[in-house]
Structure 1
Amino acid sequence: MAGKILIIDDEKNMRHMLMSLLEKEGYTAETAASGSTGVKMADRALKQDAPYDFILLDVKMPGVDGISLLQENRGIFSRSMVIMMSAYGTIDTAVSAMRHGAFDFISKPFKPDEVTLLLERAAEHRALKNENLYLKNQLGQIEERFHFSNMVAKSDAMKEVFILAKKAARYAITVMIFGGSGTGKELIARGIHKESDRADKPLVAVNCGGIPETLMESEFFGHKKGAFTGATYDKKGLFEEAHGGTIFLDEIGELPISMQVKLLRVLQESEVRPVGDVRTRKIDVRVIAATSRNLKEEVDKGAFREDLYFRLNVLTITLPSLSERPEDIPLLCDHFLKKFNRKLGSRVTGVSPSAMKLLLECDWPGNVRELENVIERSVVLSDGDRVEPDSLPPAIAGKTPRKENNEGSFTPEGFSLKVAMRQLEKMMIQRALQETGGNRTHASRILEISHPSLLSKMKMYSIT
């Protein structure tokens, strides 16, 4: 069928003529003799999720103005292509009709071909509109997959992190974030808070390694006036400041054992007792902790309490280093360029291929934070509209890419050809994996061996 049409016109002959014409063309046509009846029919169809594809609406009807009817019921007509009809058509009337949501205007009397051609045009427009909405929806889903709060990524490792973080945001559970310096632990914590139902409440970020041990209890839980020398007034602790919201305990591995005991009680009882006070105070705080240390090893060494470790470790998010996800580097560069262009008023729009190659070859011990600093520096030093190698730090710009480093540098141990061949084979596999960003299928292709053979050799040489 060509589509479903509603004809709203007070003239019986006009309704009958249009219905006969359109049914011959393959349309399903229904009629309404008044504006109010037409609105009820359109509303009913919309509620049944089967709106009319097209509505032919007369401008002049007894007791109602078709354009006013369209304007007042725009929501009901929103999913239909509305074509206005009138025997008193003027340019002003046509403009007014289209301004209020009509697709087009046709003057009576009209030839049958005029109506069918206009409907065909409306159908094409409708198809393009639906396709555009579909593509925008798909683009929105892609953007959502690549973004979490202020973080961007497209690597599988970071997509998993984003999925976990979004799930964590739905519930007020304790989250433990592991990752090296500069990997974005605080950004993940802020994203979880922002996506949660506590977003309108405080987020208090604390660097556990930056508070002197003697002041730590007072900072965390507050104190009463006169509790110790210098306590000249009552002070709220950080946990009380975060009441109703979230507290982010960064570098929690730096907490001394004495403070770990007190923190455990706060997590178990949801209450704090300020220094010098005899009463406890109930708190409602969601705890997110982070560390760059291996807490399990710290527990084994006795440097971190096992009971606190298990109390914090409800949901774990581990952030990969930047060197483990090089495919994110171009996306991050674009993100930081836009950020610093806004901040600095510059117009550096991209990274040249030669500069990008150097960025991809870097080990990034400082992770994303280091890359961000490099891009900011490059934006300041760039003379053109792209980041070039000469605007990169000397440690990066002067670095010989790994591929060239390995050329001609192979020196086998001893004189055994068998041993030398194994060493060379291992080196070539490692180079291929570095070149392809860890893509084993691609690596096997450039090595000219089968994928199962590559996996077997990786296992034999303990290559991960």
Structure 2
Amino acid sequence: MNENRILIIHPDSSARTLLASMLQTLAVQLEEAPNDPAAVRRLERGGVDLIVAGVEPEDPDCLELLHYMKRKFPALPVILLFSVGDAERTREARQRGADAVLRFPLPATQLRAAVSQALGQAEPSARTAVGAMSSSTDGRPSNSAPKGSGTRESAHGWTFLNGSAGTTPSSIEPGHCRDSLVLIGEDESLRQTLELAETIASTRATVLIQGEPGTGKSLMARIIHQRSPRAGEPFVEVRCSEESSGEIDRFLFGEQPMLRPATSGQIERAQGGTLYLDDVASLGPELQAKLLRLLRDGVYEPIGASRPERADVRLIFGTKENLEDRVAKGGFRQDLWYRMSVATLKLSPLRHRGTDLDRLAEHFRFRAAQRNDRTVSGFSSEAMAMMRRYHWPLNIQELEAVVERAVLICRGRLIEPNDLVFSSAPITSRGSGDYRGDLSQIRPLKEALEEPEKQIILEALKALGWNRQETARVLDINRTTLYKKMKKYGLLVDELAWAN
């Protein structure tokens, strides 16, 4: 298949050069145009698969090129880069058909994610054909045959590109990790977590990924593996909570009985690659001791073996619990926790990700409608408001299930509130059956108080150029306290030495 061709439009030559350098790691061909007339001349020749255009929102004609492209080439994806934030212009651009509106300058990872997402929408040969595809007449996204240049499968808010049809994340064979994993969403804390993940991916650092169930810990581990020098080697995942302690021991380390053939463990399967252990907090003391030896000495001992085996694996751990609290209560080894949390990534729950809920819901709606051949084209405002009020205890995993079920039972073009079925039912008063109110937005008090503290610290850091000493002085706390809070909230995105 030919590489996708991207046309970069920007009046500033240095900006075009910067954008081109940010996209060079993708398997694409890049062309540049300094202005709208040059871009139109290039588009008329055909063969362009995606537009990335920098515009000034203050310019009253800034969306004229977008209007022209969507009228002449309705299926051509367009990403707009605004030099300043402008909510009204952003809304107008999306209404006119822009696939994404981003603030420029921006991190390369964010731009590459948006480009990969846009290029996964339609076959390159169809994008520049006039009238090959059309948007729905009411401006909502349509289900009309946007086939991917590679099959797109997703889970937990990540999207797989260029994979085999019908393959789910759990069925990926070791050594065959997908070509590209991109994140859906623009939440600031999630973006910073992804940037830190990309920074530490190329190192040998052990990684601990913290997050509630359904936030995508497994897929974060996969992206670290994929961006690491071990990408061509096996990625092996073990869910520690699904087996008893003895079974996990045998499953992980293998067995060498005297009278039977030896059984390979998952550590041996992962040789040269990455071993991801999910729900590591459920491991008992004996297994914690074995893991400590593996981390400290790089060796392990299969059950019944007379000598240890050397392991060449990178270890990534996942947990939904606060291991620091478990350590303080004596439920987890402190020395093991120190070694496994060399680099810690925290994934925000869905209820803290703002407008990412809307993007993810639309992504799952589109995918479910296409997969099940349904003509559901969007959500009613009431249904979307209900989803925004819900607290999503199972996070993106639950959102995907709720949206897919709604697509299947919806009888109209839009998903309505009665099509949405959540896992947490309304509470009724004892014996009376009277409704006591919607508790979906009520969160634990400690959690609710943490969010404003995090925002205050983040705003202070930004205002003071991420100078910790000055930030601690302004916030009237000592530097150690600030450091601990930054680590707690996943704000240590610039500390390579610590991550390494």
TM-score by length of 1: 0.55
Amino acid at match of 1:211: E
Alignment partners' CA distance in 1, 2:32 and 2:345: 44
Deviation (angstroms), 1:338 = 2.6
Q: Which residue of 2 aligns with 1:155?
A: 187
Question: Does residue 211 of the first structure (1) align with residue 179 of the second (2)?
Answer: no
Deviation (angstroms), 1:178 = 0.8
Q: Which residue of 2 aligns with 1:362?
A: 390
Q: Among residues 331, 343, 352, which one is paired with 2:359 in the alignment?
A: 331
C-alpha change, 1:386 and 1:399, in structure 2 (3 Å) is: farther
Alignment partners' CA distance in 1, 2:240 and 2:254: 15
Q: Which residue of 2 aligns with 1:114?
A: none
Amino acid at match of 1:362: Y
Is the deviation greater in 384-393 or in 310-319? 384-393
Question: Does residue 304 of the first structure (1) align with residue 332 of the second (2)?
Answer: yes
Question: Does residue 181 of the first structure (1) align with residue 97 of the second (2)?
Answer: no
Alignment partners' CA distance in 2, 1:188 and 1:286: 14
Matches within 5 A, 1:165-314: 165-226=197-258, 232-314=260-342
Question: Does residue 144 of the first structure (1) align with residue 112 of the second (2)?
Answer: yes
Contact in 1 for aligned 2:257/2:303 (Cα 8 Å): no
Amino acid at match of 1:363: H
Deviation (angstroms), 1:301 = 1.3
Alignment partners' CA distance in 1, 2:211 and 2:52: 39
C-alpha change, 1:345 and 1:270, in structure 2 (3 Å) is: farther
Q: Which residue of 1 aligns with 2:462?
A: none
Q: Compare the two structures and name the one with the higher helix fraction.
A: 1
Q: Note the residue ranges of structure 2 that are not aligned, 5 or more in a row.
A: 1-16, 18-30, 55-77, 82-99, 103-107, 118-157, 159-180, 429-435, 439-447, 460-500
C-alpha change, 1:239 and 1:384, in structure 2 (3 Å) is: same
Tell me the secondary structure at the aligned position of residue 326 of structure 1.
Answer: coil
C-alpha change, 1:277 and 1:324, in structure 2 (3 Å) is: same
Matches within 5 A, 1:106-117: none
Contact in 1 for aligned 2:427/2:437 (Cα 8 Å): no
Q: CA RMSD in A?
A: 3.8
Render the CA deviation track for 1:207-246: whole Å, top value 9, x for unaligned.
111121122322111111337xxxx321111111011111
Tell me the secondary structure at the aligned position of residue 226 of structure 2.
Answer: helix
Deviation (angstroms), 1:79 = 9.1
Deviation (angstroms), 1:128 = 9.0
Matches within 5 A, 1:393-412: 393=421
Q: Which residue of 1 aligns with 2:401?
A: 373
Amino acid at match of 1:314: V
Contact in 2 for aligned 1:358/1:396 (Cα 8 Å): no
Contact in 1 for aligned 2:426/2:437 (Cα 8 Å): no
Tell me the secondary structure at the aligned position of residue 206 of structure 1.
Answer: strand
Amino acid at match of 2:203: Y
Deviation (angstroms), 1:368 = 1.2
Q: Which residue of 2 aligns with 1:125?
A: 41
Alignment partners' CA distance in 2, 1:222 and 1:382: 49
Matches within 5 A, 1:16-95: none
Alignment partners' CA distance in 2, 1:362 and 1:122: 48
Contact in 1 for aligned 2:377/2:413 (Cα 8 Å): yes
Deviation (angstroms), 1:345 = 2.7
Deviation (angstroms), 1:392 = 0.7
Deviation (angstroms), 1:144 = 3.0
Alignment partners' CA distance in 2, 1:296 and 1:150: 30
Question: Does residue 383 of the first structure (1) align with residue 450 of the second (2)?
Answer: no
Alignment partners' CA distance in 2, 1:395 and 1:278: 50
Render the CA deviation track for 1:171-199: whole Å, top value 9, x for unaligned.
22111011111111112111211222222
C-alpha change, 1:79 and 1:384, in structure 2 (3 Å) is: closer
Render the CA deviation track for 1:377-401: whole Å, top value 9, x for unaligned.
101111123211121117789899x
Amino acid at match of 2:406: S
C-alpha change, 1:347 and 1:197, in structure 2 (3 Å) is: farther
Alignment partners' CA distance in 2, 1:377 and 1:315: 38
TM-score by length of 2: 0.52
Alignment partners' CA distance in 2, 1:133 and 1:326: 25
C-alpha change, 1:361 and 1:307, in structure 2 (3 Å) is: same
Q: Note the residue ranges of structure 1 that are not aligned, 5 or more in a row.
A: 1-48, 50-77, 81-120, 407-429, 442-464
Contact in 1 for aligned 2:255/2:303 (Cα 8 Å): yes
Amino acid at match of 1:235: T
Matches within 5 A, 1:422-441: none
Q: Among residues 277, 292, 316, which one is paired with 2:344 in the alignment?
A: 316
Amino acid at match of 2:363: H
Alignment partners' CA distance in 2, 1:358 and 1:397: 13
C-alpha change, 1:307 and 1:355, in structure 2 (3 Å) is: same
Amino acid at match of 1:167: T
Contact in 1 for aligned 2:253/2:264 (Cα 8 Å): yes
How many residues are paired up?
Answer: 291
Alignment partners' CA distance in 2, 1:317 and 1:311: 14
Alignment partners' CA distance in 1, 2:290 and 2:40: 69
Contact in 2 for aligned 1:175/1:289 (Cα 8 Å): yes
Tell me the secondary structure at the aligned position of residue 231 of structure 2.
Answer: coil
Contact in 1 for aligned 2:113/2:183 (Cα 8 Å): no
C-alpha change, 1:122 and 1:222, in structure 2 (3 Å) is: closer
